[in-house]
Structure 1
Amino acid sequence: MTAFSLEPAQLAWCAELRTLAAERLHPLADKGAPGHVNRALVAELGSLGLLGRLFTSGALDLCLMRESLAYACTEAETALALQGLGAHPVHAYGTETQRARWLPRVTAGTAIAAFALSEPGAGSDAAALELRAETDDSRGGRSSDTSPGGRSSDTPALAAAPDGPARWRLTGEKCWISNAPEADFYTVFARTTPGAGARGVTAFLVPADRPGLTGRGLDMLSPHPIGALDFDAVPVTADDVLGEADRGFRVAMGTLNLFRPSVGAFAVGMAQAALDATLAHTAGRDAFGGKLRDLQAVSHQVAEMALRTEAARLMVHAAASAHDADDPDVPLRSAMAKLLATETAQYVVDTAVQLHGARALQRGHLLEHLYREVRAPRIYEGASEVQRGIIAKELYARQEAR
């Protein structure tokens, strides 16, 4: 198989996923509370075996899942993606004990994962993060009796405070963290060596019931669970480190290089849904003595929407295939795929709204929903401006290596 075509079995699987999303996942999504983790939806993703595929399939399969689910149920797509983003560092960099403790629960949909990288002063510039991981010696052995935070009161505790003395205590804030503050554990990136930039960051697996960890939800444009976390001397030990101390930025970038193309797949799924809705609307809508599609100004816009959507899909597939083949150009391809697909989806959804007119602005309309959903992917996991910076950096590095 090349990067630019799919096998019949893959196409059939995508069609099956769209049906499952429409018939089994969308009804559960509708019952969820905006801004909160929908545990019933996550559990259904687990029972369908989709969460398990996050850790047994490659990047291309991840993209096919995300595009297919996004086409029919963006909430299901996002729930699946957040489980993968939060738990992938455990799968890829965790110890056998860490994996055995958490991954079966994640794949079953009974434990909620979260990826805690962004901070109020360190969003796009992730290497500037300030959450401090201070050794107990430097704090004079301070202990914390702050009540644990995070999960809802009816969520069973899944972890306990660390056995034995803490090696570090985490102090600071994380912000715009998906699934916070309701996740059961967090992949947390903290500064262990001050002044060292990206080389002084360590990734920690932090259960939500650790003393000193509290959180609050944030009211965002899209109805996804997103919040802020406060760390007040939260204890962590060497057993909580993911990968190696001071090498956490490698964990973050390895995770993002995998998920960036699939963010593009999410965007392509939304763009395709908007395009299909526009085709149906313009083919059936009477206007000026004919159908809307008979107006060249309309049909040319529809053609442009289709052209850009397909180009973005191909670039996403190419980037995912490169990741699966361990291509050295993965950072470049991933950045290109995310940038093109998310910017394309914004254009396609906006054009679809314009061609539908006022009905698309009515609360509850598919395009009103997509219009709110499509904006965030141009910012999270590296804003479009960051992706352009990565692309330029990779291109100049390649030129200098010649």
Structure 2
Amino acid sequence: MRTQLAGLDENLLALPLYEDHHRFAARRLAGWCQDRAELWEVPTDRAPDVSGLRILRALGADGWLAFLDPDAPSSGEAAASGDGTGTAPGLNGDFRSLCLAREVLAYADDLADFTFSIQALAATPIIRYGTEEQKRRYLPPMARGELAGSFAVTEEASGSDLAAVGLRAERVPGGYVLDGEKAWIANSGIAGVHCVIARTGEGPGALGLTAFLVPAETGGLSCDRSVRMVAPRSLGHLVLDRAFVPDTSVLGRPGHGFVIASDVLERFRMTVGAAAVGFARRAADAAVGHARERKIYRGSLFDLPSVKAALADSEVALNGAALLVARAAWEIDHGRRGYPRHSSIAKLAATESAQRIVDATVQIFGAAGLVADSVPERLYRQIRSLRIYEGASEVQQMIIAGSLDRKPVPPRAPASADAL
């Protein structure tokens, strides 16, 4: 165990990449997870829609989503003192806070992290691009955990290629008619509002996309809840069959959908890396605990050189991933223009490293790590999706490579003898 509060690395928190209010909020959330563990201590066959709504309502009721409502009283000042006397938990909505929250929640439970992250993901385009009326309508109930949201971009035929979105929005008097399908949409079955990216045709490819806020009660909108994932999650397909939405449902402006979707995904990729760090830390802690307790050859499993090597490799990879996530969050919080590159680096490194760490944990546990609903088995199923969500690892490689400076580096002048 790295600290008395599960999921936290106090040595990492002590670095100047973080401020006192980040440390306060992270510790308080870790304590909340320990106190509210009954929210996710349920059988393996739990219905993710039901569990997700229960967790969402608890997060909202206890103030962990308050930062989604810009007009709500700020929790940042209460957190800054670090005395724990305020009622606000302390998440102020910056990305270091979001990443730390996902690390802590992922360590505690996959569905807890999933619920928190999708709510933040769905609210962000409204916060950044919504009209005042849209913000007043949707953000307060989302911040209270009373209204779930979804971010509906992906389609079966387009995958990670945003410019290939095919769902059409036809202009009609007073609004638009949406026709098509979205696939693999988180919270699709429980969301009260969907942010849908559709093709309005202002231009070819990426230039012809628009974002819409589509309430769940919209006529012609339905959800196929039959999609079952390797890790239980509220996820399915959306069908829009001649669904009419008024002009007031446009988010931002027509033709601006690609910019909105890209902006949101660039921001949240680093938080996927943060969740991977939480999974990896849980796996690494479990592996060390099991290795020390498992008796073998007149000693413990921990005494075997091969096990020590595997644990050491996991610790190195975990530290590297956590630092890259912290660096990416620091970059965006300080307004650095190059943050999208670091967001992709953090996601790629953290998710790939976490996959290896979890696999090593299963190996160290042996047959015990394959038992259904054991910690290693759950982590093994849960970590796999993070290498795909918000852009697969191969997409991140393309983004990172595309961000490299292609200008030739001028040769250095030879040093003079006097300078040696």
TM-score (norm 1): 0.88
Q: Which runs of 5+ in 2 are unaligned?
A: 1-12, 70-91, 411-420
Partner SS state of residue 65, structure 2: helix
Correspondence for 1:160 = none
Partner SS state of residue 30, structure 1: coil
The structure 1 segments of at least 4 consecutive aligned residues displaced by more than 2 Å after TM superposition are 1-16, 29-35, 53-56, 399-402
Correspondence for 2:140 = 104
Correspondence for 1:57 = 93
- Counterpart of 1:344 (choices 353, 369, 385) is 353
Checking the alignment, whether the CA contact within 8 Å between 1:167 and 1:238 is kept in structure 2 is yes
1:299 matched to 2:308: yes
Partner SS state of residue 267, structure 2: helix
TM-score (norm 2): 0.85
Q: Which runs of 5+ in 1 are unaligned?
A: 137-164
Partner SS state of residue 159, structure 2: coil
State the shift of 1:40 in Å: 1.8
1:168-217 Cα offsets, whole Å, 9 max, x none, are: 10000000000012210000000011761111110001001111101111
Correspondence for 1:278 = 287
Checking the alignment, whether the CA contact within 8 Å between 1:166 and 1:235 is kept in structure 2 is no
State the shift of 1:29 in Å: 2.4
Partner SS state of residue 314, structure 2: helix
Correspondence for 1:208 = 216
Return the alpha-carbon distance in structure 2 between the equivalents of residues 293 and 123 of structure 1. Answer: 43
Return the alpha-carbon distance in structure 2 between the equivalents of residues 96 and 241 of structure 1. Answer: 13
1:241 matched to 2:277: no
Return the alpha-carbon distance in structure 1 between the equivalents of residues 292 and 67 of structure 2. Answer: 38
C-alpha RMSD over aligned residues = 2.0
Q: Which amino acid aligns with 2:126?
A: V
Correspondence for 1:314 = 323
Checking the alignment, whether the CA contact within 8 Å between 2:203 and 2:255 is kept in structure 1 is no
Checking the alignment, whether the CA contact within 8 Å between 2:25 and 2:97 is kept in structure 1 is no
Return the alpha-carbon distance in structure 1 between the equivalents of residues 21 and 214 of structure 2. Answer: 39
Return the alpha-carbon distance in structure 1 between the equivalents of residues 409 and 143 of structure 2. Answer: 42
Equivalent residues in 2 for 1:133-212, closer than 5 Å: 133-136=169-172, 165-193=173-201, 196-212=204-220
Gap change, CA 1:96 and 1:171, over 3 Å in 2 = same
Correspondence for 1:116 = 152
Correspondence for 1:79 = 115
State the shift of 1:78 in Å: 0.9
Return the alpha-carbon distance in structure 1 between the equivalents of residues 395 and 353 of structure 2. Answer: 17
State the shift of 1:135 in Å: 1.4
- Say which is worse superposed, 214-223 or 104-113, in terms of deviation: 214-223
State the shift of 1:19 in Å: 2.4
Q: Which amino acid aligns with 2:18?
A: L
Correspondence for 1:263 = 272
Checking the alignment, whether the CA contact within 8 Å between 1:190 and 1:201 is kept in structure 2 is yes
Checking the alignment, whether the CA contact within 8 Å between 1:168 and 1:236 is kept in structure 2 is yes
Return the alpha-carbon distance in structure 2 between the equivalents of residues 202 and 9 of structure 1. Answer: 37
What fraction of aligned residue pairs are identical, expressed as a percent?
Answer: 39
Correspondence for 1:145 = none
Checking the alignment, whether the CA contact within 8 Å between 1:35 and 1:219 is kept in structure 2 is no
- Counterpart of 1:324 (choices 333, 354, 357) is 333
Count of matched residue positions in the alignment of Structure 1 and Structure 2: 372
1:244-281 Cα offsets, whole Å, 9 max, x none, are: 11011111111112111111000000000000111111
Q: Which amino acid aligns with 1:45?
A: L
State the shift of 1:3 in Å: 7.6
State the shift of 1:283 in Å: 1.1
Q: Which amino acid aligns with 1:112?
A: A
State the shift of 1:46 in Å: 0.5
Correspondence for 2:47 = 34
State the shift of 1:22 in Å: 2.7
Checking the alignment, whether the CA contact within 8 Å between 2:270 and 2:329 is kept in structure 1 is yes
Return the alpha-carbon distance in structure 2 between the equivalents of residues 57 and 110 of structure 1. Answer: 19
Return the alpha-carbon distance in structure 1 between the equivalents of residues 400 and 110 of structure 2. Answer: 28
Correspondence for 1:367 = 376
1:101-154 Cα offsets, whole Å, 9 max, x none, are: 010000100001000000011111121010001112xxxxxxxxxxxxxxxxxx
Checking the alignment, whether the CA contact within 8 Å between 2:26 and 2:97 is kept in structure 1 is no
- Say which is worse superposed, 361-370 or 34-43, in terms of deviation: 34-43
Gap change, CA 1:4 and 1:296, over 3 Å in 2 = farther
Return the alpha-carbon distance in structure 2 between the equivalents of residues 167 and 363 of structure 1. Answer: 50
- Say which is worse superposed, 388-397 or 295-304, in terms of deviation: 388-397
